[in-house]
Amino acid sequence: MKLLFKQRFFSWFDSYDIYDENGNTLYTVKGQLDWGHCLKIYDAADREVGTVKEEILTFLPKFNIYNNQAYLGCIRKEFSFFVPRFTVEFNGWQVEGDFFEWDYTIQTAQGAPVATVSKELFQWTDTYVIDVNDPADALYALMLVLAIDAEKCSRD
């Protein structure tokens, strides 16, 4: 299953539309005014299905992941030189790849791929393709991509 993650061109806060391979809107992401990034995820019926919220007052960026109001886990940036690294405390997943070039893989602790993420270049706004192996993992993979993108925005 492929997801097209596209940032809206005119938006005061981070806002994204997530499409399937046929161009149908699967999710809408709306940024909210808050300390740090707070991204609410809505399904096609406009029901809130998840939240990615930056925890403030931490040495390195940390993003908590919620399904409705239930805490699922987090992703945090590790201290490293030159190459960004992230620790994922969620589903036993890990993130590997080239974050400077925006190409990386989400995989299980055993190394099985969950999703592959790549950035489309030469677009007006941030646009990513998320290729998810199991459609049941699509929302959770999207949440990790949102957290990594928010960390990059904070860094830049």
Tell me, what's the pLDDT at 11?
47
Looking at the chain, the whole-number percentage of residues with pLDDT higher than 90 is 51
| CA–CA gap between residue 121 and residue 112 (Å, rounded) | 27
Question: For the segment 94-138, what is each residue's pLDDT rounded down to a tens digit?
Answer: 998 876 657 899 999 899 999 999 987 766 667 789 999 999 999
- The residue-averaged pLDDT of 41-59 equals 92
| Region of residue 75 (left: phi > 0; alpha: psi -120 to 50; beta: else) | beta
- The residue-averaged pLDDT of 138-152 equals 89
First-to-last CA distance in the chain?
A: 30
Q: What domains are there in the chain, each with its CATH number?
A: 2-155 (2.40.160.200)
- The residue-averaged pLDDT of 46-51 equals 95
> Structure pTM?
0.87
Question: For the segment 69-81, what is each residue's pLDDT rounded down to a tens digit?
Answer: 899 999 988 887 7
- HSE-up of residue 1 (Cα within 13 Å, Cβ side): 18
Output the DSSP codes for 83-143.
S--EEEESTTEEEEEETTTTEEEEEETTS-EEEEEEEPSS-SS-EEEEEESSGGGHHHHHH
pLDDT at 139 over 60: yes
Q: What are phi and psi for residue 49, nearest 5 degrees?
A: -120, -10
- HSE-up of residue 53 (Cα within 13 Å, Cβ side): 19
Question: For the segment 55-69, what is each residue's pLDDT rounded down to a tens digit?
Answer: 888 788 899 999 988
Residues near 95 by Cβ (< 8 Å), separated by ≥ 6? 75, 86, 88, 104, 105, 106, 107, 144, 148
Buried b (16+ CB within 10 A) or exposed e, 73-92: bbbbbeeeeeebebebebbe
What are the tokens at 53?
């919220």
Tell me, what's the pLDDT at 140?
95
Give me the amino acid identity at 136: A
